Structure 1
């Protein structure tokens, strides 16, 4: 079994952190892997500034809560939907499910839940048993500046190494090492050539917020606090970097309300993008490198008996693609973004 941890970089792209081969996906394997991950990352505060997203694997849930007790742990909304959808297949319920999970404010979330309840109260009851605070945007912590509620980033890494996964374990690990080693250099080189302050993908999203801000009316309450009127009224606090809609709080880059305030003050919305999305932050993450590894003929010879680990082969041909839910559209990945463990 190959265990992986994949994070998001400052340009919201895949950044493989760690991978390891273990005998199986059980409590002992996850405990060892997560403990080694914490040691390598030099985490000493119990993970207070970290967020994990997983697919409700029980062994992983237990281990993270013990080893990283202060980390936020989100459940993948796509996996929750796949299980919930087996019983409740109505298309209108599907739309309301994703509307509720993607709602940034509690008011919008509760409205979606009420609309769902009017169609099928049993569907709402089943959904609320999943602990909405683990996969609904309106309840997520804002410290990591990430609004992701699905772990598609882990699936992206799975596709990145799909050819390597079919090889012998040693060659598989070597192929993964070379792919990640080369990716670090390629991404660093590409970003170094760009004359930007904000990473391109974030800048693109910021431009969308700017384009939506023209409808907003701004009323100053003080030098730092403003009331912004669009379809409804929100409060923007520049000093505390917060907006009532919670998009700026959770994502780390300005929503349309903040862009409107920036225009009112004759300032640039880019000034209000969190430093985690700056080019300098990106370059710092990619300044590390993985050393090359010579072929076996150059290795130091040792005389130590070594037995291979026990192998437990599953029946049938090995699978290359993840198992999809029977009701999941194979051609559509949705509009959700991802990171994951």
Structure 2
């Protein structure tokens, strides 16, 4: 199975089973649980201050910037992570084909609540119950999708509308109608520049590629078009046809 990510946590048997059943998928682990485990052995502020920015970073060089601070504080952390947390937990390591940048598996709590009444019977009964509930859910989502007029999901439209506001601090320099350099100046005077390629849905910070939705810098370029049509720059993953 391609373009699938599976999150596991504190269950070595499950990790082994997932690897056998889905040998080609991307195995990730919940970063929040990783940090809870890390606090048992490494409790200095330097870890929390740099591990969270490291896992949220979309680019390898930004990940390295924060992670190097952790290694400089305690070089043994690297071996500890390799031994106890060797699955993927940083966005910069995620595949851009999956279009999911979640670093925590909070969705698992909703899933457990969804199937809790079916947990006690035998495993084959649980599997059949999940199959029936999934079929019912898909049918419901198709009915909702058929009633929607835009191509995109409403929640994505809302997110893009919110993201397209307050972009005045971004400077867009065009060298091509559909390509531009976006400059952002922070309060401390730091200047960051990235390049947006609209036809390829590419922004060099990698957020657009990972999520499938244009980030604020990409939206700054899109809104400069004569007739901006944002939905054409959103990955088909968020199309109502998927449901």
TM-score range with shorter-chain normalisation?
0.7 to 0.9
Q: Which of structures 1 and 2 has the bigger CA Rg?
A: 1
Q: Deviations over 1:195-229 (max 9, x none)?
A: 33211222233233312533211112234331111
Partner SS for 2:42? coil
**Which residue of structure 2 lines up, in the alignment, with residue 77 of structure 1?**
31
RCO comparison, higher one (Cα < 8 Å, 6+): 1
Query: After superposition, what is the alpha-carbon deviation per residue over 1:25-49, rounded to whole angstroms, capped at 9, x for unaligned?
Result: xxxxxxxxxxxxxxxxxxxxxx343
Deviations along 1:145-166, whole A, 9 cap, x unmatched? 1112333323321111223335
TM-score, structure 2 length as denominator? 0.80
**Which of 150, 155, 169 is the equivalent residue of 1:201?**
155
Match status 1:271 vs 2:227: no
Go from structure 1 to structure 2 and tell me whether the alpha carbon gap of 1:131 and 1:171 turns closer, same or farther (over 3 Å shift): closer
Structure 2, unaligned stretches of length 5 or more? 186-191
Q: What TM-score do you get using the length of structure 1 for normalisation?
A: 0.59
Secondary structure in structure 2 of the residue aligned to 1:195: coil
CA distance in 2, matches of 1:196, 1:248: 21
Q: Kindly state the Cα deviation for residue 281 of structure 1 after the two structures are TM-superposed.
A: 1.7
The residue that corresponds to 2:188 in the other structure is none
Partner Cα distance (1:213, 1:63) in 2? 46
Q: RMSD over aligned Cα, in angstroms?
A: 3.1
Are the counterparts in 2 of residues 84 and 126 from structure 1 also a CA contact under 8 Å? no
Q: 1:200 to 1:114 in 2, by over 3 A?
A: same
Equivalent pairs counted in the alignment come to: 236
- Look up the match of 2:184: 230
CA distance in 2, matches of 1:128, 1:176: 34
Aligned residue for 1:86, secondary structure, equals coil
The aligned residue for residue 241 of structure 1 is 201
What residue is the counterpart of 2:214 in the other structure? 254
- How big is each residue's C-alpha offset from its partner over 1:82-115, in whole Å with a ceiling of 9 and x where there is no partner? 3222212345522422221111112321222234
